[in-house]
Chain A
Amino acid sequence: SQQGEEDPQALSIQEGENATMNCSYKTSINNLQWYRQNSGRGLVHLILIRSNEREKHSGRLRVTLDTSKKSSSLLITASRAADTASYFCATGEANAGKSTFGDGTTLTVKP
């Protein structure tokens, strides 16, 4: 089964609103990353947060990590139609040497 589970599976909002998506994982991690994927294309790295960090910002993105709850959230503020995409969390597992991806959240931003 996948390491990460994302919630919600789908999210539809109006332009200008904030979008929050959550990721839960099962094992110890070195870091957690968020990626964006436009339909049928490759994934684009958005942000990485290390296991000893609690919050990180990048432009309109804010990521939090709670290792005690094994969960992370991605907040996109002031969303735009161009943010419409699928968003995946990926965990860099300790001693596993690979990143494991969640099932993704499909975000639709309506103009």
Chain B
Amino acid sequence: KAGVTQTPRYLIKTRGQQVTLSCSPISGHRSVSWYQQTPGQGLQFLFEYFSETQRNKGNFPGRFSGRQFSNSRSEMNVSTLELGDSALYLCASSALQGTNEKLFFGSGTQLSVL
């Protein structure tokens, strides 16, 4: 089985721009979660999608949004980028809703905001 695939691997944007990150979960997994990882804040939960519906949301501003498609692939969008949005964005898939169990992570998208 192929693992979780995230694209692109690296991204450089400037302040004020918007960005869309993509995540393809493991085949058969219907839950996709997104995390932001920074040296100062560690791993912060963004949101979780299951069967195209957002089930859980972390404490991030409305500039961070996401969606899930019928094939379970997910996208995350950040609008009006700020310098502080520079981070490694990790996507994880799970066979179960609620991400309380084993998560399978992609390699992440390293976003740099200049």
Chain A residues packing against B (C-beta within 8 Å): 2, 30-31, 33, 35, 40-45, 48, 88, 90, 92-93, 96-104
Contacts and interface: CB of A to CB of B under 8 A. Distances in A.
A103 B100 contact: no
B90 A42 contact: yes
Contacts of B105: 35, 42-44
A102 B35 CA distance: 13
A104 B42 contact: yes
B97 A42 contact: no
Interface of B: 4, 6, 33, 35, 42-43, 45, 48, 55-56, 58, 88, 90, 92, 97-108, 110
A96 B92 CA distance: 17
Given A40-B88, A42-B90, A92-B100, A100 B45 contact: yes
A52 B35 CA distance: 28
Given A33-B102, A40-B88, A42-B90, A101 B42 contact: yes
Contacts of B4: 42
B42 A41 contact: no
Given A33-B102, A42-B90, A44-B105, A98 B45 contact: yes
A31 B100 contact: yes
